[in-house]
Structure 1
Amino acid sequence: MKSWNGKQIDPRYFILLFLFTFVLTGQLFLDFFQKWDAFFAAIGTAMAVEFVLSGLIHKSWKFPLSALISGMGISLILSSFLIWPYVLASVLAISAKYMFRLGGRHVFNPNNVAVVCVLFFLPQYVVSTPKQWTNDIQVMILMLVLGAIAAWSANRLDTVAAFVASFSVFAWMRHIWADEPIYYSMGPMMGASFQLFVFFMLTDPKTTPSSPYARVWIAVCIAGVDALLRVYGVTNSLFYAAFIITVLIGIPYRWYMTRERTLPSA
């Protein structure tokens, strides 16, 4: 957590600024086909579910800031002509925080597990950020700057750097060995979906390791699985790669670290 004039600043406020800038850009300048009703359905559902579950389980009735961020992320990552997929994804995201826990914390990034579920089981109703996003360089630079500030505030710039570097290396390898056009293999890095994933999902302080070394290696592994999925033509590979690595590496690592902390010292 960063400080300003001696006061601690919650990094979630920087993430909120990053996401809300995405929302305003899409609604005011890019003419998104999903309008404010999808946005309010996602954040309203997420906040309501978080407020109720937190109150019932933890007896804590406070403003659900994390749920506001989760709902906002869902409204940006998913696209549908219907409203109920946003509601369902928000319910799944918040519920997963309370269902899957280890060492006192949730093990899955809430948005990642929700997005993976709806994209995998309901592809006829929902997709992930279709070509409504422009690749205008000014928009992308703004998002990169805000995203970097959000990652810095959460002490996760190392994770971002490791993932972007690894993604670039694997993209170049696909270009050389799989004959992918270089603009096709490198192009996703200029897309909004990539930036939302890197600066929002990948840097979640609650579900990423506290060890910089572990964070870097997990980021490299996610980039590697993503590259493999792309070779086989799997869409939404970023989200699936993060989910797979969480199951195969993230959860065992969390279990091991929790066990180490609880074992009595010799």
Structure 2
Amino acid sequence: MSKDPRLYILAFLLSFVAAGQLFLGFFQRWDSFFASVFTAVVLEFVLVGLLKKKWAFPLSALITGIGISLLLSSYAVWPYVLTAVLAVTIKQFVRLRGAHIFNPNNVAMVIMLIALPAYAVSTPKQWTNGIEVMSLIMILGLFAAYKAKRLDSVLAFIGGFSFFAAIRVGFFGEPALYAFGPMMGASFQLFSFFMITDPKTTPPTRKARILFAFLIAFTDAWLRVNQITNSQFYASFLVTLLLGVPYRLLAKKAGETGIPV
């Protein structure tokens, strides 16, 4: 259990919650935090228990619930509950080759942002102070990604985002602060170190992971050029749907015929 990479992701998220409350001025409501965590944990515990006859503490659901509480912003509590229900339900029932297809947090956020924009927005929080705290969280994020064996995805996405931000500045006249500014935001950090590192929804090979992360950065840049908000969530969803699913299907066929993938 001590080697479970999810524990490092959990530590990263908890440090995010603590830093946001104590140092960075997030002023997050605790009722929304507990609502999303409680809903995700209880629902996955029940579903996995009923479907697979496994009654164990759902660590993944705890991570999902904390992630939702950080990614989602709403003045009401019920959107946090609904987002948690969507994340866990889609994770358990939308599957391919025995694993969920979409990152639970990402697909739930996409549905909420499209269907209920009056009640749900993505986290607009920025680092408000404390470069030391920010640096510590980034170090924890890098370490968690390394332990999850997804550091390549993180670096590819950050590198790709920086590359396309420079292109937007040079060729589209976008102000540099506007193009690179999101990298200092809480939402970007969570996406980079938490959402894009999900072992179950990212490719198994390093080359494929790097390509996928770079394509997410490209899609995100294209959406930003077209002034579409919440671009990183949509980019991850589109790349997973249009390329990730066919990749898995091709990998399955290759595996069945003995062709290495």
Q: CA deviation at 1:192?
A: 0.9
Shift of 1:131: 3.4
| 2:260 is aligned with 1:241 | no
Q: Of residues 79, 82, 88 in structure 1, which corresponds to 2:76?
A: 82
Structure 2: how far apart are the matches of 1:232 and 1:219? 20
Deviation at 1:8, TM superposition (A): 5.9
Corresponding residue SS for 1:60: coil
Is 1:113 the equivalent of 2:100?
no
Counterpart in the other structure of 2:249: 255
TM-score with structure 1 length normalisation? 0.94
Task: Give yes or no for the alignment of 1:38 onto 2:32.
Answer: yes
Deviations 1:181-203 (A, max 9, x none): 11110111111100100100001
Q: Is the 8 A contact 1:135 1:190 kept in 2?
A: no
Is the CA contact 1:34–1:81 (under 8 Å) kept in the aligned structure 2?
no
Gaps of 5+ in 1: 1-6
Instruction: Give the CA deviation at 1:29.
Output: 3.0
Shift of 1:47: 0.4
SS at match of 1:82: coil
Measured after TM superposition, the shift of residue 259 of structure 1 is 2.0
Residue 132 of structure 2 corresponds to which residue in structure 1?
138
CA distance in 1, matches of 2:125, 2:104: 24
Kindly provide the amino acid, as one letter, of the partner of residue 109 in structure 2. Answer: V
Helix, strand or coil for the counterpart of 1:9? coil
Asked if structure 2 preserves the Cα contact closer than 8 Å seen for 1:27 and 1:35, the reply is: no
Per the alignment, residue 3 of structure 1 pairs with none
User: Counterpart in 2 of 1:223?
Assistant: 217
Q: 1:189 to 1:31 in 2, by over 3 A?
A: closer
1:129–1:145 CA distance, 2 compared to 1 (3 A): same
In 2: Cα distance, 1:264 partner to 1:39 partner? 47
How far did 1:133 drift? 4.2
1:121-136 to 2 correspondences below 5 Å: 121-131=115-125, 133-134=127-128, 136=130
Quote the residue 1:72 is aligned against: 66
Deviations 1:128-157 (A, max 9, x none): 112364254223211110100100000111
Q: Give the Å deviation of 1:34.
A: 3.3
- 1:263 Cα offset (Å): 3.2
User: Does the CA-based 8 Å contact 2:36-2:84 persist in structure 1?
Assistant: yes
The sequence identity of aligned pairs, in percent, is 57
CA gap of 1:38–1:170, structure 2 versus 1, over 3 A, is same
Normalised to the residue count of structure 2, the TM-score between the two structures is 0.95
Match of 2:188 in 1: 194
CA deviations on 1:5-29 (whole Å, 9 max, x unpaired) are xx86000000000000111122233
Change (3 A) 1:8 1:258: farther
**Aligned partner of 2:124: which letter?**
P
Is 29-38 or 137-146 further displaced after alignment?
A: 29-38
Residue type of the partner of 1:263? T
Partner amino acid, structure 2, of 1:86: Y
Distance 1:32 1:182, change over 3 A: closer
Gaps of 5+ in 2: none
Q: Which residue of 1 aligns with 2:161?
A: 167
Tell me how far apart the structure 2 counterparts of residues 102 and 238 of structure 1 sit (CA, whole Å): 23
Q: Is the 8 A contact 2:125 2:185 kept in 1?
A: no
- Asked if 1 retains the 8 angstrom alpha-carbon contact of 2:36 and 2:66, the reply is yes
Hey, what does 1:4 align to over in structure 2? none
Aligned length: 259
Q: Please give the root-mean-square deviation of Cα atoms over the aligned residues, in Å.
A: 1.5
Q: Deviations over 1:92-127 (max 9, x none)?
A: 000011121111100000000001111111111111
